[in-house]
Structure 1
């Protein structure tokens, strides 16, 4: 397994100086959890009437506490009234997520993915959350898990945002802690149809709502090679039934040298020129994509599984 340079860069960033209304709390006995994934939750003192839920799995060699410290999700939750769940891997070797087992790559099949989804289901029930506004975002191994969760559980998530990850099923192997050098170095190349089949086979017979997704990758990533962005593009355009021809290209967004490619209303990809695996997460962009700044009051409608888009 690799030691991500992401950890070093994040440790150099000071934790948010903002005062929070609550604290990070461990949750237990939240439901089926075959891999003993730990769950932590941040619940602001003031919530929306039906609070959305944001799930943020950490990177390899990372922890739930580090995501809590170095991402702005908790302070944003205070401001906009949503809940954040911070899963913590039980993998003592490197804290990478199980994105390889048949369990995680199958709906309700087990693995780390089921443990994380159990946290979501528990929180929705306990806090009266909005089941149509559940989101997931992560970097590196957390981005891989983001791909896995929106693929295996399209009935749970409304959208995902994956930063420097790989396509769903790219790490597939016989075990829970499989490292695929072939995938990491961009040697696993499939057609869009082949990639899409992996997603659709994760939940046979499912023909309903698919979560929208945005993916990001640096062109100088030497941990998870840039080819993985192309494989994600082929996979998700095929899942959504889009052509692999870009319908919109925007230069220098959200940062200089980054390019956004849109393929349809539910999928977009960002290529970050000159950026390595320590891709700088843009929290505000994620909040906007998930429409988490929106509070559904009166006749106001926010992005959700029901709406499909904000109106």
Structure 2
């Protein structure tokens, strides 16, 4: 099944689940050139990006969210819409998925991927929620995933393939969506001082969403995590720094550290690696553990940002032991250098520097945007790190 039809099937399925059958019809008709209005979002590169926003750019390895279809020849057979949906489902089931880890790609039949809206004291956001099927009825943990600029929750879920891993480990996964009213390119406002402090703005919305889900689903202690890509990674750093008691670990992929910028100009400087020192969060004993993934060929957010975040973590934990491991690339992966910081026998910080990778999610699926399918698998690395405090995964 080509990427265009696969993307159409995902979006149509989501529309049906959300009670919008007319939109689902339009999506499928557009994908097959059967007429009707296209419901696809334009390629992210075509969207305007205002100054000071971290917008993930395509690298030669990254894929556009929805490839523009080529003109189709006339005269091919047409089918009723119901038949089209069944054909797409059958073709999707037969399509192999490259670079898949050992966990099964399909979720249990009673798992759910649903749309919700959260209203908190500081504001509201729509979000997608993956609810796993578990024998106990209680998820084994919660991962909050923050997308990059010009992405949305469905795109980010598809590109990271996090739901498949969540199914294998019984994890609840939330994908908050940034409002276009709050940022015209859908970026989290990590560089704005109004969204860098506790008690208000986007950090408060995300923290309140996290605690609401934690309490609703009875998430066990020590099993609440947040991760993001690019602007989402930078906002994950902000949320973890301003609400460290909520999160047990944080994942920053191709992002920036807390306080790396305070306005538009300093945002550009930080992205280019010439920003000032990072800011420390509130003093607390509940410092979240940290995993960083960054490519050496990233020219959007240069890799020195990863080192700055890791060094800041070491300053917070001066007693820790630092180690370095070189991992040769597998046939389907790039080489990487892994730096670890240990304290009392626990890895509290891990930085994975991937050779030759640009500004894209490592090991991601071509079904989403801003991914590098070559690997290594950043999603699997993050899940292993998040759950490592409880023993082998």
Band the TM-score falls in, shorter-chain normalisation: 0.7 to 0.9
| Residue 105, structure 1, aligned to residue 196, structure 2 | yes
Distance 2:272 2:224 in 1: 32
Aligned residues of 2:55 and 2:231 also touching (Cα < 8 A): no
1:4-15 map, 5 Å: 4-6=56-58, 9=63, 11=65
CA-CA distance at 1:170 after TM superposition = 0.6
| Residue 52, structure 1, aligned to residue 141, structure 2 | yes
Distance 2:329 2:260 in 1: 28
**CA deviation map 1:42-93 (0-9, x unaligned):** 1123265463101111111000111222222222222322211101001341
**CA deviation map 1:118-177 (0-9, x unaligned):** 11111122111224210112211121122112211110000011111111111223xxx8
1:250 is aligned, of 317, 320, 326, to: 326
Q: How many residues align?
A: 281
- Cα RMSD (Å): 3.0
Distance 2:139 2:118 in 1: 23
2:358 is aligned, of 261, 270, 276, to: 276
CA-CA distance at 1:249 after TM superposition = 2.8
Aligned residues of 2:324 and 2:337 also touching (Cα < 8 A): no
Aligned residues of 1:131 and 1:156 also touching (Cα < 8 A): no
Distance 1:148 1:112 in 2: 9
Q: Report the CA distance shift for 1:77/1:182 in structure 2 as closer, same or farther (over 3 A).
A: same
| Residue 116, structure 1, aligned to residue 206, structure 2 | yes
Distance 1:94 1:178 in 2: 18
Distance 1:76 1:251 in 2: 22
Regions of 4+ moved over 4 Å:
12-17
1:147 corresponding residue in structure 2: 237
Secondary structure of the residue aligned to 2:256 is: coil
Structure number with larger C-alpha Rg:
2
1:38 corresponding residue in structure 2: 126
1:298 corresponding residue in structure 2: none
Distance 1:179 1:38 in 2: 29
Distance 2:305 2:335 in 1: 19
Unaligned runs of 5+ in 1: 292-301
Aligned residues of 1:189 and 1:231 also touching (Cα < 8 A): no
Unaligned runs of 5+ in 2: 1-48, 68-91, 98-104, 364-376
Distance 2:231 2:381 in 1: 20
Secondary structure of the residue aligned to 2:338 is: strand
2:385 corresponding residue in structure 1: 289
2:270 corresponding residue in structure 1: 183
